[in-house]
Amino acid sequence: MCSHFGRTVALVLAVAALALLAAGCGQGGPRTYPVAGKVVFKGKPGNMRHLIGAKVRLQSTSDPSIVAVGAIEDDGSFSLGTTMDKKSLSGVPAGAYKARLEPRRSDDPDAPPVVPFAAKYLDYDKSGLTVTVPADGEIVIEVERR
């Protein structure tokens, strides 16, 4: 009987420990909001092929160490996750952000990256792109062709 009681206590303690670990493994950080959008070319629609794999990056205007990033898909869509204090968070904390694009890398490591958009979009301060989180719906980022 004592052996059964000991196993039951051990099982209860193990379950309790797992529950505590699971509770402690949350994001641990600020509240985040889902941010999704689409990159489109200004004017007539263009071939999105060169945008596939490029990245949208947001940098907080109040804390530059907060950076959100998402890869651009074949239809121009993206969704963002955040890196903050060396932690990955799903979504983006509330606030104002500067935005830029990062070109995709070529399959050839010696080849320069493919940049199908104007060079100003490579820089947070020159791009003219800003985003406020939480966003009212999908974000549309219009870029000029190169």
Phi, psi (degrees; rounded to nearest 5) at 132: -110, 130
**Res 35 pLDDT > 50:** yes
CATH of the domain spanning 32-143: 2.60.40.1120
Task: Give the tens place of pLDDT for each residue, 74-120.
Answer: 999 999 999 888 889 999 999 999 999 999 887 788 888 878 899 99
Domain ranges of the chain: 32-143
SS3 13: helix
User: Hey, what amino acid is at 130?
Assistant: T
- Strands 129-133 vs 95-102: parallel, antiparallel or unpaired: antiparallel
**Res 142 pLDDT > 50:** yes
Prediction pTM value: 0.76
Comparing CA positions, the residue from 140, 143, 124, 139 lying closest to residue 33 is 139
Average pLDDT of 4-28? 41
Query: Mean of the per-residue pLDDT values for the chain?
Result: 82
Query: Which residue has 């983006």 as its token pair?
Result: 92
DSSP 8-class letter at 42: S
For residue 134, whether the previous peptide bond is cis, meaning omega lies within 30 degrees of 0, is yes
Structure confidence at residue 127 (pLDDT): 97
Exposed, middle or buried, 33 (CB in 10 Å: 0-12/13-18/19+)? middle
Structure confidence at residue 28 (pLDDT): 64
- Strands 36-41 vs 139-143: parallel, antiparallel or unpaired: parallel
Query: Which residue has 């950080």 as its token pair?
Result: 29
